Amino acid sequence: MAIDESELFEAVELEMSSAFRRRLERDLRAAASLTLEHESGPPVTPARVMADPTTRRQTWVTASAAALVIAATVGITAIRFHEKPSLGRSPSPRTVLTSTATSPTTSPPAPGTKSGVPTTTATSPIAATGWTAVDLGTDSVVAAAFQQVTGDGPLFAWTSDLRASPEVASELYRSTDGTSWTQVPIPSGFSIVAATATSTHVTLLGFVLPGDAIAAAEVVAMLSDDAGSTWRTVPFDVTLPQRKAPGATLVRPATALIATHGTTVVASFSTADMWDSAPDVTFDSAGRVLPVERPLYVSVDDQPFQTVVAGDLPAGPGPTVALSVSNGQFLALATPPSAGNSEPAVLWQSDDGHTWTSLGSLPTAVPGATIGKIGDRYVVVPLCCAQSAWISADGAQWRSANFGDLPVDAQPDSLHSALAVIDPNGITVAGMYLATNSKDVDYAKDGVIERLVGGKLSDLVFLDQGTGTELGRVTTTPFDNGSVRALGDGKIDILDAEGNVRTSFTPDELTGAINAAASNPPPPVGVILHSDDGDTWTSASINAIAGGSPTGVSWIQSTGTLTTVGAFVSTESETAPTHLVVMVGHEHT
């Protein structure tokens, strides 16, 4: 019998199951709602990221940051631009962002800021450390896209107005107090993808576009030892695919991780092709295709970055989901190369960035995370959807460190956009809980109301629309009380007195009702969590500190003397629905 190969593959074609469709639509809606609600905001983390953890922000701290304590006052100051920043090799800062208030405790809200911002001490323990809210507003590129710089300081932030053009270069800003930001010149045409700052080095990872419109973008790191006054370039041993036609496609680093210790820099990045069909591939200097799994690269003493090869990393790192320096050692968290979406991540450690040792696996998969150490203990804070951090003495045996009591009505496993600082003295996490929509959802059809009790698919009550009489309540299947019949295939039949089907409710109708209700969910609850030891946690409300509900957490940084958290906060203004608010927590003195 001859083989028709086309028929062979057509025959195995599968229809999407209703259950998968519903679950994926729900997850996509949650992710998109978190990321897209503020059009002018920076990218924030999807609610759920599966196989490819290309979207995450992370931070790590190698030293310091004492416990956060002390009495707090919460005030709002306004930041404004005095001058539009410009790119170039200007020898001096061109733009200064200045607070209009000299004292956050006494200044009135600036024009345009949301009224009703709390000005009294918050009640939660960590709020007593002195969180000051600073509203950066919405009218600047900085407010639109301030991005995190990892490391133990000083405070830097960067921005790329990608909405204007995928090829736009970046701007770098520095602050000493989190409230005033000064632009730091960087080489013209350099676009930042990731950045880290320590007391001695500022390192930027990004790309430079070539003069030839169809040539490949050049991946480079920019290093500075003098806080950005001068920069030097360190190239990578990779070449991205070129664009296929002038201006057609830009393959560039999409997300990246970077960590420095001394003169050693370890980095990892993914590539993205925004419109065309080129896969996520990079090539080494010999023209060989490199894994798509975002290998690690290492540079020492400004030498070009080299790929950490399998010989040094026996099983291969797999997609790197976290990278940091702690106690002078590099730490990397990576998903096994051959893993699917749910394989536990593996912890790797290296003294020099070249040779890595696998310490063990986490009990669970983490699509993105912050990794660090408290003393001798390893700590991992998942980026998304976690209720606890993970702590281990050896990297092999892990225990969960529960974040503590959740805000009322928050979903139990849904701390999103969880950015963290981990240092020898504690863990500070900023994130958002998605509040549960606990209202009943009604859907009427053919004189019958289908009520999703508490908005849940698992508790359905059917009512006669005319009389209000309860016809049946379905919590498990199969179910059949003579009036309501659910056989477990998703469809629910309503029967008349003779046992004939009066009407039926389909899974799609249920999904539609849920979606309609989900279109107006309760506002998220933002929290800043802190624990000295991973066991006892305190929390402060971002909603209370910032005076609004957060739509995304954009960064967390710590310098040892202060901690800053950046979040987008929704307002009631129709013209400026979200503001970027920086919350500054001062160390106790």
Partner 1 sequence: MVIETDASKRYSVTTPEGVIDFFRHVSSDVHRYVSRLTGGDRQLTEDIVQDAFFSLVRQSQSGLLLEVEPGWIMTTARNRFIDHVRSVDREHRRLDAYQCTFGDGAARGWRDTEAGVLSADRASALLAALPEQERWAMSLQVVDELSVAEVAALLGRSVEATTSLLARARRRLRTIVEADDGD
Binding residues (CB under 8 A) for partner 1: these are: 1-17, 20-21, 24-25, 27-29, 31-33, 35-37, 39, 43-44, 46, 48-52, 54-55, 162-163, 166, 254, 272, 274-277, 279-281, 289, 291-293, 310, 315-316, 337-338, 340-341, 515, 519
Classify 31 as helix, strand or coil.
helix
Two tokens at 413?
Answer: 């496993």
User: Can you tell me the distance from the alpha carbon of 507 to that of 19, in angstroms, rounded to the nearest whole number?
Assistant: 9
> Around 378, how many Cα atoms within 13 Å sit in the side-chain half-sphere?
29
Element (H, E) at 9: helix 5-11
Sheet hosting strand 501-505, strand order edge to edge: 479-480, 484-486, 492-495, 501-505
Burial of residue 517, with CB atoms counted within 10 A of its CB: 0-12 exposed, 13-18 middle, 19 or more buried: middle
**Nearest residue to 159 (alpha-carbon basis) of 132, 124, 195:** 195
Which amino acid does the sequence have at 522?
Answer: P
Say which residues have a Cβ less than 8 Å from residue 166's Cβ, sequence separation at least 6: 250, 252, 274
Closer residue to partner 1 in complex, CB, 202/250 = 250
Which pairing describes strands 296-300 and 356-361: parallel, antiparallel, or unpaired? unpaired
Three-class DSSP category at 103: coil
Structure tokens at 74: 């919460």
Helix (H) or strand (E) holding 142: helix 141-145
Cβ(60)–Cβ(422) below 8 Å: yes
What DSSP element (H or E) covers 586?
strand 578-586
Q: Tokens representing 25? A: 């639509």
Quickly count: other Cβ atoms within 10 Å of residue 218's Cβ: 18
- Give residues with Cβ within 8 angstroms of 265, minimum separation 6: 203, 221, 223, 234, 258, 259, 298, 299, 300, 305, 353
- Return d(Cα 26, Cα 38) in angstroms, integer: 19
Which pairs count as long-range contacts for 516-521, CB under 8 Å and 24+ apart, including other chains? Answer: 516/441, 517/437, 517/439, 517/441, 517/452, 517/455, 518/26, 518/29, 518/437, 521/33, 521/434, 521/435, 521/437
- Structure tokens that stand for 304 in this block: 């070009």
- Residue 12 CA to residue 14 CA, distance in Å, equals 6
Residues 437, 411: Cα–Cα separation, whole Å: 9
Distance CA 132, CA 120 (A): 11
Whole-number Å distance between alpha carbons of 300 and 511: 54
Residues 138, 144 contacting (CB under 8 angstroms) = yes
HEC profile for 308-371?
CCCCCCCCCCCCEEEEEEECCEEEEEECCCCCCCCCCCEEEEECCCCCEEEEEECCCCCCCEEE
**Count of residues making up the chain:** 589
CA-nearest of 527, 566, 404, 413 to 48 is: 413
Contact between 162 and 566 (Cβ < 8 Å): no
Structure tokens of 423?
A: 């240092």
